[in-house]
Each structure stands twice: as C-alpha cells, then as structure tokens.
Amino acid sequence: MSRILLSAMLLAATALPVMAESVNVAVAANFTAVAEELAAKFEAESGHEVELSFGATGQLYTQITQAAPYGVFLAADTERPEKAIAEGLAVDGSFFVYAQGRLALYGEGVDADNGKAALKGDFAKIAIADPEAAPYGQAAVETLEALGLWETLEPKLVQGESISQTLQFIESGNAELGFVAASQVLGKDVWIVPAELHQPIEQGAVLLKAGEGNAAAEGLLQFLRSDAAVAVIEGAGYSVP
Amino acid sequence: MSELYSPILLTLMLALCVTLILLPLATPIAWWLAQGRGRGREVVGAVVTLPLVLPPTVLGFYLLLALGPFGPGGALASLWGARTLAFSFTGLVIGSIIASLPFMVQPLRNAFAAIESEVLETADTLGASRWQRFRRVVLPLARPGYLVGAIMTFAHTMGEFGVVLMIGGNIPGQTKVLSIAIYDFVERLEWERAHVLAGGMVVFGFVVIWSSLVLGRDRERSEN
C-alpha cells in the first residue's frame, strides 16, 4: 500500500516540475460552462488549482479596480481588459482575444433560418442583455438597427443584467424571444445572427497584476491558446481568431 | 438628468403602493397572530416571517416562475391581454408586498399584543360592534405600531434589490428602480451618478431609522 502511494507521489512529482499554485479567475458570465471545462482540463494537466468567479464583465471590472484578488480576467469584451492595462491593473502585453462570440436569437418558434420572420412576428417581449454593460446586448441593438427593426421593437425590450439573466427570461417564458450567446444555447433551435449585422464580439483575456509571477495564472493564459483549449472553445459555439 | 429622476420617482411610487396595500392587508394577519385563538398560528407566523430570512434570490426565482406565462401571474395578466406580470410595475408591487410583509406584520403584531384584554372586554360590554371597537379602541392604541410598520415597509421597499433584479427586466420608468439604477451606474463605471443615488439612499436610510427610534422612545414614554 505504502509502496503504491510512494510511487504515485514520485509520479506526481515528476509530472509537476513546478510547485502547484492556485489562481482566482474572474470570468464573464457567458463563458461559464466553457471556463469550467477548460479549468478542469488545465488542472488535470498542470496540477495547479483554478478558482472561477463568474459575473457581468462590468461588475467584475469594478471589483478588480477595488483590488479583488483575481489573477486572470476573462472578459466578455476587449474594452475592459484594455482599460485594466491602461489603468495599471493588468500586465502590459498580456492582452489577447481568447474567443469571439456569436449572437443567437432564441425563443418560441425560432429556428435556423426564420430569424428575421420571427422578429417581425407577434410577440410581447424580447429580451436582450444591458447594451451599456454587456457586449452581447450591444450587438443585439446593432443587429436590430441593421435589420431596420429598432423603432418597432424598442417598446418590447426587456433587459437582463447579464447574458445569463437574458436567457432566464426566455427559458421561464416571460419573454418569448431574446438575443443570447450562441454558446448558451448549443444544440437548441436558434437563429445564428449573420456576423455582418453587428460588430464582432471579441472577448479579451488579460493577466492581472495580482497574477503576475503566479505560475497558475500565467500557465492558464498559455493553456487558453493551446490547440486543446481552442478546440474546446470552438466546440462551445465560439470562434477563435 | 431623467436617468436620475426616473428611478427615484418610480421607487417612491412603488414604496407608496406597497405600503398602502400592506396596511389593510397585514392588519387582519397581525391581529390573528397577536389576539387570535386556534391552531396554526406558529405556522402562519413563520410563513409570514420567512421573507426576512430567505435570500431575495429565492423569492425572485419563485416569482419569476409564478408571474410568468405558466404561473398564476400569467393567468392574471391574460385578463388584460398580457402574457406575464414580470417586467411590469404590477409585478414589482406583488414581489415587494411579499418581500416586505414581515416589516408590516411584525410591528402591528407587537402593538396588538400589547393591548390588554380588559380594554377590549370593556368595549364589548359597552356594546361596541367589532368595527367600532377596532376603530375607536384598537387603532388609537396601535397607532405607533402602524407608524413604525409603515415607515419600515416603505424603507425596505425603497431598498429592495434582489427580487426586483430577478423579475424587473430593467425597463426605464417601469421597473428600473433605485437599487438597479445604482447597480447599472457602477457597472458602467459612471461612479459620480452612482454616488449621488447611493449617498442619497444612505441619508434616507439614516433618517428612517432615526425617526423610528424616536417614535419608539415616544411610545415608551407614553406607556410609562
């Protein structure tokens, strides 16, 4: 028994040339499921420990400005990670786009090719994420404007604080339709909004000052760019530039 | 500027509606809990107090389902051709009534419990009807309780966040109340506006608590 334990420990020691460290990661709500999968993979591969905190990008950024102990910031936009660097909260040169989101229209009677018809149909409420705080909400507004439906649909809008809450409003039936992230509704009947109808939804990652020199934080960011991670991210309904 | 005024007005309206509805609604509940006979008072007392200890997210979650098209709220909304009571002022009133119920019931219950049975019996002996007895005896004696209940209900509704966040849908002028507006300003890094509203709420909260304490002190004096 002790021999097995000893050899296991030796194995673990050879597999882990670095000391196992842990990192707190602030993750945009839309990336929840993917981040959990990636974190598990990274933990298994590296032996480091990853603690994920999910929230709206704006709220997470606010926490970061107030010295929240996050080592890595996986945002839903590029604005706030860049701002974090500009304000000296994140490490220069650590910024990169880890995923590009796709906007999807989801709800009653929506399928892959009737999105525009559904938007012109008869419904009481359409849910979007708060366009001021959530890039997916901004993209939804741009899409409605591009389709010339903004004036007609604005009175029917309800806003979720985040993309997760937007989905709640649709799932609970309180809103018939809504714009969410394609990654949230994988395998469901949705209309993927053509990319030319809105600005690209680029999600930026950045190494925060609290994560500088932390092997877990730096390793995680490196792992995010690996082929294995890119495959997971693409499999979850995002594209990787 | 309307970004600041609209949530303030809406929140004041909501707090006023909830307070005015809860005054008559909580009275029989509190009376029965304080003076009633019969079984089940502990159970009802516990149910009425639940919103004090439950996370607002629990109430918000159940309300989102109950107000929606598959719940009783949706059935009610269909009377005027709507599908859901979520995302509406009516929905916020319903949610806030539930969330603020203990803040009205508790002070009333205490006030009613303090009324001695001799006083009530005297009124009966003098031939007062139940309504007369309530209006001329109970109400004046319980007045401080009503004041504290109304103030606490109003204040608690002003500060309600979790329930509203989950059922409101953030519609300006309809469901975008103060607490949500503050949350949004913070999220958008518009901290100056957040400061205006947040600071105002701190002052308001202090005044409310201070005035309740003064009322309570006056009541003690009048009793001794």
Residue B222 CA to residue B217 CA, distance in Å, equals: 9
Interface contacts A/B by beta carbons within 8 Å = 72
Residues A207 and A193 in one domain: no
The predicted model gives A218-238 an average pLDDT of 95
- Counting residues of chain A whose pLDDT is more than 70, the rounded percentage is 93
* Helices (runs of H) and strands (runs of E) counted in chain B: 12, 0
Over chain B, what is the mean pLDDT? 91
Residue A5 domain flag: no
pLDDT digits (tens, 9 = 90+) for B66-82: 999 999 998 988 888 88
Q: What is the CATH number of the domain that holds A116?
A: 3.40.190.10
Residue A6 domain flag: no
The secondary structure element, H or E, covering residue A50 is strand A49-55
Does B94 score more than 80 pLDDT? yes
Structural domains in chain B, sorted by start: 2-223 (1.10.3720.10)
Residues A51 and A169 in one domain: no
Residues A167 and A106 in one domain: yes
Residue A59 domain flag: yes
Question: CA dihedral in degrees (B47, B53, B58, B63; nearest 10)?
Answer: 50
Does B216 score more than 80 pLDDT? no
Does A42 score more than 90 pLDDT? yes
Residue A180 domain flag: yes
**Which among A62, A159, A172 has CB closest to B64?**
A172
Residue A13 domain flag: no
Give Cα separations from A56 to A1, A219, B92, B140 (angstroms): 48, 24, 23, 51
Q: Which residues, other chains included, contact A137 with Cβ-Cβ below 8 Å and sequence gap of 6+?
A: A128, A129, A130, A131, A159, A163, A166, A179
Identify the pLDDT of residue A134. 83
Residues A205 and A191 in one domain: no
Split at pLDDT 50, 70, 90, the class of B169 is confident
- Greatest CA separation found in chain B? 67
**Which among A61, A132, A174 has CB closest to B64?**
A174
Question: How far B185 CA lies from chain A's nearest CA (Å)?
Answer: 9
Query: Can you tell me whether residue B149 is helix, strand or coil?
Result: helix
Does A9 score more than 60 pLDDT? no
CB contact under 8 A, A173 and B84: yes
Identify the pLDDT of residue A4. 62
Residue A17 domain flag: no
Identify the pLDDT of residue B190. 86
Identify the pLDDT of residue A6. 57
Residue A12 domain flag: no
Identify the pLDDT of residue B187. 80
The runs of H, that is alpha helices, within chain A are 2-15, 32-46, 57-65, 79-86, 115-120, 135-146, 150-153, 163-171, 215-224, 227-235
The predicted model gives B174-197 an average pLDDT of 90
**Looking at residue B134, what DSSP letter applies?**
I
For residue B21, give the nearest of B135, B74, B100 by alpha carbon.
B100
Into how many domains does chain A fold? 2
The predicted model gives B168-196 an average pLDDT of 89
Split at pLDDT 50, 70, 90, the class of A168 is very high
pLDDT digits (tens, 9 = 90+) for B22-78: 999 999 999 999 988 878 898 999 999 999 999 999 999 999 999 999 999 989 888
> Within 10 A of B47 (CB to CB), how many other CB atoms are there?
13
pLDDT digits (tens, 9 = 90+) for A122-141: 999 999 999 987 889 999 99
Residues A71 and A121 in one domain: no
Residues A54 and A131 in one domain: no
For residue A30, give the nearest of A9, A52, A48, A56 by alpha carbon.
A56
Question: How far A105 CA lies from chain B's nearest CA (Å)?
Answer: 18
Full residue range of the structural domain in which residue A56 is found:
22-100+201-235
User: Minimum mean pLDDT among A17-26, A82-91, A145-154, A190-199: which range?
Assistant: A17-26
Residues A150 and A71 in one domain: no
Residue B203 CA to residue B182 CA, distance in Å, equals: 15
Q: Which residues of chain B are within 8 Å of residue A127 when distances are taken between CB atoms?
A: 169
Over chain A, what is the mean pLDDT? 90
CB contact under 8 A, A160 and B188: no
Contact assessment for residue A164 and residue A32, using Cβ atoms and an 8 Å cutoff: yes
Identify the pLDDT of residue B111. 95
Residues A163 and A127 in one domain: yes
Question: How far A196 CA lies from chain B's nearest CA (Å)?
Answer: 26
For residue A5, give the nearest of A197, A47, A13 by alpha carbon.
A13
Residue A9 domain flag: no
Does A112 score more than 90 pLDDT? no
Residues A119 and A193 in one domain: yes
A227-232: long-range contacts, CB 8 A cutoff, minimum separation 24: A228/A41, A229/A38, A229/A41, A229/A42, A232/A34, A232/A37, A232/A38, A232/A41
Q: In what order do the strands lie in the sheet with A177-181?
A: A157-160, A126-129, A177-181, A103-107, A190-192
Residues A27 and A70 in one domain: yes
Contact assessment for residue A211 and residue A71, using Cβ atoms and an 8 Å cutoff: yes
Residues A208 and A90 in one domain: yes
Rounded to two decimals, what is the model's pTM?
Answer: 0.79
Question: How far A133 CA lies from chain B's nearest CA (Å)?
Answer: 6
Residues A192 and A205 in one domain: no
Residue B44 CA to residue B29 CA, distance in Å, equals: 9
Identify the pLDDT of residue B224. 58
pLDDT higher at B16 or A16:
B16
**Which among B64, B165, B186 has CB closest to A62?**
B186
pLDDT digits (tens, 9 = 90+) for B112-163: 999 998 999 998 899 888 889 999 999 999 998 999 999 999 999 999 999 9
